[in-house]
Amino acid sequence: MKIAILGFAREGKSLLKFLKKSKRFRGAKISILDQRQHTNSATSPPVGGSGYTNAPTRIFGKNYLDHLEHFDLIFRSPGIPYNLSQIQKAIKNGVKFSSATQLFFELCPARVIGITGTKGKGTTSTLLYKILKNCGFPVYLAGNIGKPALDLLPRLNKKSWVILELSSFQLQDLKNTPAHPKIAAILDIFPDHLDAHKNLKEYFTAKANLALHQKKNDAIFYFNDNPDSKKIARKSAGKKIGITGSPFGLRKNFVMAATIAAYLGCPQEKIIKTIKKFKGLEHRMELVRTVMVRQAHHKNKSKIYFYNDSAATNPLTTVAAIDHFHNQSLILIAGGRNKGLDYKILATAIRNAKKIKMVMLFGENKHEIKKYLVGIKNKELRIREEKNFETAVKVVYNFAKKSLIPNSSFIILFSPASASFDMFKDYADRGNQFKKIVKNLKI
């Protein structure tokens, strides 16, 4: 059998390690395909394992997708979309596609809690993991956060629980397998990743795969106030539990995690105690720094708060962040790469938020976003563009200092509403660079 691992990042490396040890794939000829150029040392983990005498074949560089039809089975990494012409050609030629996620579901002996949504997956998954852990559950966290799921298999048994944070790209492969989560959680769903999905329908269909094969003795949790979350839940044969939380914001996802934990028998006092200690995740409404500003002839100091919300790669997520600070003077830093999304809803939120004093735009789509903002009739609103990210942060900081009145405060919110790949490695790299700039600002 000829097997290809398509994409060789975190999940691809975990998959290679698993395939080498698996009796099921004994004797298979494995190739690693990746657009990036790797050094030999980075792509040659110890061989070992059943049936392997040679290192995998490596196909790197811009032509890595050529000749996919030569393989019998291709494991696709989540970052490589199905809508690529080379992949569609291979499918038409009868090549079977799978993924590390599908393989994990097929082999996992444990009970799986699958969590998906457009945003909030990481926060909900991590908080639920902490609650269950504090309640004594044999629980593991995997997927986009935690360990790669396949790495957990040797530790799992029928009494274990695994919380999987799942993206639309990971869920695309679950359509053709009967494997399913014991518990599914569908968070807020709204348009996203339209640069990588054929259309909006394909995106929603991928999310719905989490519910598709559930049985009567399973359960699915969803948000009552989100039509698409509710619609996906109807596709499940399991028990349906609707949740009403606060509109937008982290607390809504806290409610989801707490409700699932209570359903599984966690005592209320332990749930509350864990939530009180939970500080949230990095790059998600993360308070980076508070600057105290003393003004002449006044004893009281004013404050400038810097928030890092780099994980906001979607306009609606940034709208939620703006809504969170609706009563406070605010400066928004936004921009990056568009994922095929509409920024009208962001412009509406900025128009309605009377306390936004400045919008600083940077990145590939700064002109595009500005077009939506120029018609806003608000004499106090400043709209500015900068090419350099560090300059953008320094400009808004100086603007905030000059705009402060005694005993007041300003929020500087970095919530890009866009993908990061125009200027950064990923959203985490973008957030880390923002934090570094902020921490180095001279008061």
- Known binding residues: 117-123
3-state percent breakdown (helix, strand, coil) of the chain, nearest 5: 40, 20, 40
Tokens at residue 116, please? 């998906």
Distance CA 243, CA 166 (A): 20
Please name the residues in contact with 104: beta carbons below 8 A apart, sequence gap of 6 or more. 142, 149, 150, 153, 164
Whole-angstrom CA distances from 352 to 156, 210, 346, 356, 411 are 50, 36, 10, 9, 17
Mark out the alpha helices in 237-361 (DSSP H runs).
Answer: 249-263, 268-277, 315-324, 344-352
Whole-angstrom CA distances from 16 to 60, 102, 108 are 16, 15, 18
Are 381 and 358 in contact by the 8 Å Cβ rule? The answer is: yes
Tokens at residue 176, please? 């053709």
Question: Could you tell me which residues are beta bridge partners of residue 183?
Answer: 113, 219
Residue type at 192 in one-letter notation: D
Whole-angstrom CA distances from 441 to 53, 108, 303, 306, 316 are 55, 49, 14, 11, 29
Residue positions in the annotated binding site for ATP? 117-123
Instruction: Quickly list DSSP for 189-250.
Output: -----TTTSSSHHHHHHHHHHHHHT--TT-EEEEETT-HHHHHHHTT-SSEEEEE---SSHH
DSSP 418: S
Are 165 and 121 in contact by the 8 Å Cβ rule? The answer is: yes
Strands 111-116, 73-76: pairing is unpaired
Distance CA 14, CA 19 (A): 9
Whole-angstrom CA distances from 193 to 119, 169, 415 are 12, 9, 17
Are 171 and 206 in contact by the 8 Å Cβ rule? The answer is: yes
